[in-house]
Structure formats: C-alpha cells, structure tokens
Amino acid sequence: MDTWTIITKSLPPMLAAMVKYTIPLTLISFAIGLIIAVLAALVRISESQQPFMKALKGIVWFYVWIFRGTPLLVQLFIVFFGLPMLKVSGHPIFELNAWSAGIITFSLNTGAYASETVRGAISSIPRPQWEAAYALGMTRGMVLRRIILPQAARVSLPPLSNSFISLVKDTSLASGITIIEMFQVSQQFAALYYNPLLSYSLVAFLYLMLSSILNILQIYLEKWTSRYVQTSQEF
Amino acid sequence: MLKLTHINKDFGNGHGLHDVSVDFPANKTTVIVGPSGSGKTTLLRTIDFLELPDAGQYDFDDLHYDLSQPLTKQEVLAARKKLGIVFQGYNLFPHLSVLANITEGPIHVLKQSKQDAEKNAHYLLDKVGLGDKANVYPDQLSGGQQQRIAIVRMVAMNPEYMLFDEPTSALDPELEVEVLKVILELAKMEDSIVIVTHNMDFARGVADKIVFVEDGKIEYQGDPKTFFEQPTPRIQAFLAAGTFDPKEV
C-alpha cells in the first residue's frame, strides 16, 4: 500500500483518539495537578507550629518524594494493576477503570513536580512585598491570594509550561494501561500496514503539533502576565 | 498616644534594642535619627510589629500589650489597622496599576466600595501631582514618583499614625525634595507622624520631637531646638559627621 493511502486511512482514527483521549487526559490531569501543586506548595511554605500542619508537611514531602522519584509508567502500573489487589474482607478497595487510574496518576505526578515550581516561585517574591501587604492590615491568606500568588504565577509560567508539554507526551504511556489513546492507535496501524516508520512518524508529528500549540499559548500567556514588568534585554 | 516601654530586641549579632522607652505624641511629628545600624529602623518597625521584640510594654490608645508574651494575629491586626508605613524601597505591588495599588487596602481591608476608594485615590493622586499616572504600572515610574504613590497608598488607609522608614534614602536630591514636600504637607496638617531619616535639614525643619538612637539605646528624646542648638558632645559629633567639609578631608 502506498504512503498516501496509509496516511489517509490511519490519520482520522489517530485524530479521533487524540480528541477523545490524549487531549482530555492532558487537560483534566493538568488542571487537577495544578490545584494539588498550589495546595502542596502552600503546605510546604507554612510556618505553622501546629502538630496537624507539621504532620501534613511530612505527608506532602513524602508524596513529592515518591512521585518524583519513581517512573511514571511504574506509577500507572501500580495504580491500575496493583491497587485492585488490596482487599478488605474479599472486596477490592480500589476498583479503578483505566480512565480513572490514568487521571489519578497523571494528576498526582504533575502535581508533585509543579508543587516544587510553585513553591520556588512563591519564595522568589521578595519579603518586602509581604511586609507592605501585612502593613495594610491584610491576613496571611489575603497576602498570599492578592499579592504573592499573582506575582508567583508569572515566575512559574515557563516551568509550568514545561510540565504541561511533558504531560501531553507522557499521556502516550496510558497505552500501557489499556487506554486506546493516540499512540496506541498508531501501534495498531504500524502492525496493520507493516510500516512502523510511517505510523510512528505520523503520531510523532501529531504530538509535535499539540506541543507547538501549547508553545504559542505559553508565549501569549507570558506576554500577558509580564505586562507590568519591563523585560527588554537590550542594553 | 503611642508609647513603648522597656523594649528589648536581640538579633544575636550585637544589634537590636536595649531597654528602649519612648513615646510618640499624637498630632506631632517625631523624627528618629542616629548613626547607621543604631536601631532606628528596628525601633520604627517594632511599632508596626514588622519586628517582634523579645520583651517590653506596648501602649497605643486602648491597646495594651505585654510583648514578652506571644501576640495573637488579632492583636497585631488591631494595631496595624491604626498604622501606616512607607518603606525606604517603596514596596509598591508591581502587578497592580498605580490606582489598584492605592485602592487595594481600602477595598479589601477597609471594605470601602470600589467607587469611593477610586474617587479618593484620584483625589490624593492629584494632590501629589500624579493625577495622570493612575493607570500605569509602578515599574514605569521614577523612584520619587513611586515613593509619592507609596505615601498616597498609606494615606488612603486613613491611619492614626504614619510611619516613614528612611523614605528618601534611595532617591537623588531632586527626587528627594518632591517626596519631602509631600511629607511636610502631612506634618502641617497635624497628622501623627514618626519618621526615620538621615536628612538633618529636613529633621530640623519638620520635627516637633527628636529621638536620637545609638547602639540600640535612646540617647536623647525631646525638643528639637535643644538637640540642634545645645547638643551634648556626642550629638555634636554625630551632627558634625553628617556635614561634608572638603577643607577637613
């Protein structure tokens, strides 16, 4: 079969898999991951001496340590194939379908990396900003929400974009836990037409397109969040 | 009336405050002077609890705090509500426009309506000659303009006491004058002001009371006239060291 026929036959199902799995998996996991990241970062910068907060800090530290220190594919396998083995009086505690297992694992993994990004961005905002806000009579929560986090968002945008782009490509690992996402579909066509070079190049191109869209999005977001700083590098 | 009694603060490096007792009269301008590292800024920041002393008594109108005990957040907020501070480095919020910098506190802390807060902000901006800068970001302004906006941000909170921590030390002389004029206006309106400054001419012109701090101790507090015209040998040496005479070099 000629190249053009293979492309026209395999491209529509690949695009369908992209719209149905790759994109939603990425968007949902990144959104949840970002929420986890901000919460985890806030726990880690907390100066509270309460035993509850101290314990929470320990838990968050442990979570980040585990998820940054083990391979994502292994995490997916543990959550999808491993966790259903945990049983209480014969009934599994976690019975997750592939989709939920994917979302949970990708969110937690992204959250672990992004929490370090957010924590670093918060610490990069100079102390006088806190002081000026406190001096207006704000509480710690208000200072964070209104003064520190908006500025930290700008600082964390480039590294968060890295995480986002990584996540798009990492969703290909979901093929390992039976999700028929874009890469899984390309594998099927590679076997069907005996042309792995073409099928895998095609899917690589599609990932590249997705990443490029995110690249452009990043450029616009950076422009918008940097509207208040003079960033010219020309001297 | 704002009064600190037997304040101790140990930074563990020889600096700090040692048994400082001082009062800042209402509707007057108190100027804190002293050599670098003497503790003037620490003293000022203590008033706003940006530094927490190890011990001492804090009396501010109806607030009476024993500083050897940990303060609750509510106690700190109650004091800060009556205070405003202007910093040496302006510390405007870079992500907010000039207008939003000024209305941030009134809207979100004092719960004023956006309309009222903005009206007042425009009025105050006009008074300091920056009426056309409401919609720019702080980064686009000179140091003198930023500091005048920092003053407006404080005044918009309508504080009982206004604190100034070396407000012109980062400015060149021309810009310094435009900021000093604004502070002088406030002093003339009989606001309660505490100001740390290195500018002795300004101190002399504006002070109702002088506090001289050295090595974390109060070496003089009282009438500016006596301070400048009949100084003790130590004060005289301090005042002389601040004037530059090329013939002596």
What was the pLDDT predicted at A232? 60
Chain B residues touching residue A135 (CB < 8 angstroms):
48, 50, 80, 83-85
Question: Least CB-CB distance to B94: which of A134, A136, A151?
Answer: A151
Q: To the nearest whole number, what is the mean pLDDT of chain A? A: 93
| Residue B206, both tokens | 């504006």
Who's near B18: CB < 8 A, 6+ residues apart? Answer: B8, B215, B216, B217
How many angstroms separate the first and last alpha carbons of chain A? Answer: 58
What was the pLDDT predicted at B76? 95
Question: Least CB-CB distance to A138: which of B48, B109, B138?
Answer: B109
The pLDDT tens digits of the residues spanning A145-164 come to: 999 999 999 999 999 999 99
| Residue A214, both tokens | 């995110």
Q: To the nearest whole number, what is the mean pLDDT of chain B? A: 92
What was the pLDDT predicted at B34? 92
Q: Is any Cβ of chain A less than 8 angstroms from the Cβ of B89?
A: yes
Taking the alpha carbons of A62, A67, A71, A77 in that order, is the dihedral positive or negative? positive
Q: Is any Cβ of chain B less than 8 angstroms from the Cβ of A128?
A: yes
**At CB < 8 A and 24+ separation, what contacts does B9-17 make?**
B9/B42, B9/B46, B9/B51, B9/B52, B9/B53, B9/B54, B9/B216, B10/B54, B11/B42, B15/B39, B15/B42, B15/B216, B16/B42, B16/B216, B17/B42, B17/B43, B17/B46, B17/B53, B17/B216, B17/B217
Residue A62 Cα to chain centre, angstroms: 19
What was the pLDDT predicted at B61? 93
Q: Is any Cβ of chain A less than 8 angstroms from the Cβ of B155?
A: no
What was the pLDDT predicted at A233? 60
* Angstrom distance (rounded) from CA A143 to CA A133: 6
Q: Which of A63-77, B28-42, B171-185, B233-247 has the lowest mean pLDDT?
A: B233-247
Question: Least CB-CB distance to A136: which of B73, B104, B137?
Answer: B104
Is the Cβ–Cβ distance between B61 and B82 less than 8 Å? yes
Chain B residues touching residue A230 (CB < 8 angstroms):
139-140
Is the Cβ–Cβ distance between A44 and A121 less than 8 Å? no
Q: Which of A133, A117, A136 is nearest to A44 (CA)?
A: A117
Q: Calculate mean pLDDT across residues B22-49.
A: 93
The chain B residue lying nearest A145, using CA atoms, is B108
Q: Calculate mean pLDDT across residues B101-108.
A: 96
* Angstrom distance (rounded) from CA A169 to CA A31: 16
The pLDDT tens digits of the residues spanning A152-202 come to: 999 999 999 999 999 999 999 999 999 999 999 999 999 999 999 999 999
Chain A residues touching residue B108 (CB < 8 angstroms):
138, 142, 146
pLDDT higher than 80, residue B247: no
What is the pTM assigned to this prediction? 0.89
pLDDT higher than 80, residue B244: no
Q: Which of A87, A156, A151 is nearest to A119 (CA)?
A: A156
Partner residues linked to B165 by β-bridges:
B196
Is the Cβ–Cβ distance between B24 and B192 less than 8 Å? yes
The pLDDT tens digits of the residues spanning A80-123 come to: 999 988 888 888 787 789 999 999 999 999 999 999 999 999 99
- The amino acid occupying position A229 is V
Who's near B107: CB < 8 A, 6+ residues apart? Answer: B113, B114, B117
Q: Calculate mean pLDDT across residues B79-107.
A: 96
Cα angle for residues A106, A107, A108 (degrees, 5° grid): 95
pLDDT higher than 90, residue B173: no
What was the pLDDT predicted at A1? 76
SS3 call for B10: strand
What was the pLDDT predicted at A95? 79
Taking the alpha carbons of B171, B172, B175, B177 in that order, is the dihedral positive or negative? positive
The chain A residue lying nearest B108, using CA atoms, is A138
Which string of DSSP letters, residue by residue, matches B35-80?
A: STTSSHHHHHHHHTTSS--SEEEEEETTEEEETTSPPPHHHHHHHH
Strands B2-10 and A91-92, by their bridges, are: unpaired
* Angstrom distance (rounded) from CA A163 to CA A158: 9
The pLDDT tens digits of the residues spanning B112-146 come to: 999 999 999 999 999 999 999 999 999 999 999 99
